[in-house]
Amino acid sequence: MKIAVMVSGGGTNLQAIIDGINSGLITNTEICLVYSNNPKAYALERARLAGIPYVAKSPKEFENRQDFNKALLQILKDADPDLIVLAGCLVVIPSDVVKEFEGRIINIHPSLIPSFCGTGYYGLKVHEKVLERGVRVSGATVHFVDEGTDTGPIILQKPVMIRQDDTPEVLQKRIMEQAEWKILPMAIDLIANGRVSVRDNKVFIEGYEEENIF
């Protein structure tokens, strides 16, 4: 399975995918493209060091959003991935891209959806809101992408306990380490091996009942 990974920043989830492929944790998978809307994203350096093709195109390079959307769609079509992985990508995915790759785009979100998700909930903002609300458990979710914001079918979730002295930065790091870097590679491997299906907007995983998936 060929995957395109879309990123905007440091690329820690991208690195988790690269490491997962190299270690055999993720099987039957190769990264055919890393795309970033941010030409200065360190994620692009991770791609370069790993010998993975990469493209950086910012919406600022185009006269209008429509032209950018067309260019992004063409970049992805040229790469011809079986799956697109949003790994810390802060660009709103155009509806044309969602339609072209329907059922073949997944995203990692740093909370337990449906809590703390949707418009405006991204990056550190999620963890700030979690701590403001005083909840005891947060975590991460991998889900399919549809035309809503964080509304697609959920594939995997992993909870992370919140500590009394957590700051948004500390919580963000722990959720990355304990949840995001584990369930995103796992979800990719499950999809690559044909174990994931969607029926009535719910995800079914072959063998999920019989094994301790974590």
Ramachandran angles phi, psi of 208, nearest 5°: -60, -40
Cβ neighbours for 173, distance < 8 A, ≥ 6 positions apart: none
Per the DSSP assignment, residues forming a β-bridge with 80 are none
**Torsion 122-178-11-188 (CA) sign:** negative
- Alpha-carbon distance 198 to 89, whole Å? 24
109 is annotated as an active-site residue: yes
Residue with tokens 């959920």: 154
- Alpha-carbon distance 113 to 130, whole Å? 12
Q: Strands (DSSP E) along 87-150, which ranges?
A: 105-109, 137-144
Residue of 14, 87, 109, 188 marked catalytic: 109
Q: What is the SS3 assignment for 56?
A: strand
- Buried/exposed 176-209: b ≥16 CB within 10 Å, e otherwise: bebbbbbbbbbbbbbbbeeebeeeeeebebeeee
Extract the tokens encoding 141.
Answer: 């979710």
Enzyme catalytic residues? 109
